[in-house]
Amino acid sequence: MAENRILSGMRPSGRLHLGNYFGALKNWVKLQDEYECMYMVADVHALTTLAGSDQVSTIANDTHEMVLDWLAAGLNPEKCVLFIQSQVPEHLILSSLLSMSTPLGWLLRVPTFKERVRQLGEDEEHLPYGLVGYPVLQTADVIVYKANKVPVGIDQVPHIEISREIVRRFNRLYGETFPEPQPLLTDSPMIYGTDGESKMSKSLNNHVELAASEEQTSSKVRTMVTDPQRLRLTDPGRPEVCNVYSLQKIFNNSQISNIHELCTTAGIGCVADKKNLSDGINSFFKEFRERRIKLEEKPEEIKEVLKAGAEKARKIATATIEEVYSKMGLA
C-alpha cells in the first residue's frame, strides 16, 4: 500500500482565480515534492449539477484552461500524475460498487448536499441520483489509488469524513482493503471577492483570474469595495475592514506597515492603494503568465500530459478493481 499517496481534484471550472490559487493550487505545487501526488480534473463530478444543461459544452475547454493554469503554476507532470477523471473509468466502477454498501441516510445528511439542494431549489423527487452519490464517487476517486491523504479546503472536510465511513464499512464487510483517507488541511488565507463580502468565486463574478492581463487585473482591482465609511480622500481608512488591505498583506507584504500607516492617516487614497495592489498582483503572477502564454501555444502537449497521466493512473486503478471484484465475489 502506498504510504504517502495524495489524491485531489478540482471540477473543471476554466481559468482559476486568486481564491483557487491560495486555497488549493499553491499547496498542490508544494505537495508534489513531499508526496506521491495524483491530481485530477473532476469532470464526472461536474455532471452532477450540469448534466443536460448548456454548460456541458464548455467542459472540454474549461478542462484545458484549468490545466494550463495548473502547469503554469508549477505542477510538473514528471513529479505528479495529472489526469481527467472520465479517462479512468475505474472511478465509475468503484463508485458503483461502493454504492452497494453505502447507506442512503449518510448521503442525505452531508451538509454540502443539503446546501446544494437548497441552491438548486429542486424538490427531492427530481434530484439526480448522481448528485446524492457525489461523496461516493469522490470516495472512489481517492481509494481507487489507495491514497491516504486528501488536501482539501475546510468546506470539504465532511466529504472526507463520509469517505472514512464508507471505507470502514467496506473493510468490515469484505476484509481490510482500503486505508482510511485523512484530510490534509492547509491554513490558507480566505480570499474575498472584489465585493469585499463573499468568498471569491467565478459564479459571483467577483474574481480576479490568474491568467488575466495586467490591464484586466488593474480594472478588476479598481472595482474593489474598500472601507465603506471612507468617503473622502481626507477620511482615515480602516484597514481591518478593507479587503484591498487583506490582499495587500499577500501581495505587498514587505510594505505592509507603511500601507497601514498611510491608510489610517489618509496619507494615501484608495485609488492609489489599489494601483499599488494591482502592481503587486501583476508582479506576483508575471512569470506564471509568461509560462502560460508559452503553454497556450502547445495545446497538443496538454492533451499528451493528460493522456499519459490517465495511463499511469489506470495501472493502479485496474489492480484495485481486480482486488475489489474478487473480494465482492464477482468474476
The residues in 17-56 that bind ligand TRP, with binding defined as CB under 6 A, are 42, 45
Grid cell in block for residue 107? 448521503
Among 141, 209, 227, 273, binds ligand TRP (CB under 6 A): 141
- What's phi and psi for 145, nearest 5 deg? -105, 5
Q: With respect to ligand TRP, which residue has the nearer C-beta, 56 or 272?
A: 56
- What's phi and psi for 286, nearest 5 deg? -60, -55
Q: How far is the CB of 328 from ligand TRP (least distance, A)?
A: 22
Residues 6+ positions from 179 with CB-CB distance below 8 Å: 1, 143, 146, 147, 148, 167
Please, what is the end-to-end C-alpha distance for the chain in angstroms? 23
Provide the β-strand partners of residue 199: 192
CA-to-CA distance for 206 and 219, rounded, in angstroms?
12
Using rule CB under 6 A, residue 67 touches ligand TRP: no
Q: How far is the CB of 18 from ligand TRP (least distance, A)?
A: 16
Q: How far is the CB of 211 from ligand TRP (least distance, A)?
A: 19
**In residues, how long is the chain?**
331
Among 5, 6, 9, 305, binds ligand TRP (CB under 6 A): 9
The span of 7-15, 58-66, 255-263, 321-329 binding ligand TRP (CB under 6 A) equals 7-15
Among 5, 6, 7, 167, binds ligand TRP (CB under 6 A): 7
Using rule CB under 6 A, residue 142 touches ligand TRP: yes
The span of 8-16, 30-38, 62-70, 303-311 binding ligand TRP (CB under 6 A) equals 8-16
Among 59, 84, 93, 150, binds ligand TRP (CB under 6 A): 150
Using rule CB under 6 A, residue 88 touches ligand TRP: no
Q: Please give the biggest Cα pair distance in the chain.
A: 78
Using rule CB under 6 A, residue 10 touches ligand TRP: yes
Question: Any idea of the CA torsion for 45, 100, 7, 247, to the nearest 10 degrees?
Answer: 50
Please report, as a single letter, which amino acid is at residue 107.
Answer: L
Number of residues that bind ligand TRP (CB under 6 A): 12
Grid cell in block for residue 214? 495586467
Among 25, 152, 310, 324, binds ligand TRP (CB under 6 A): 152
- Residue where the block lists cell 464487510: 173
- Residue where the block lists cell 438548486: 120
Which spans of this chain sit near ligand TRP (rule: CB under 6 A)?
7-11, 42, 45, 138, 141-142, 150, 152
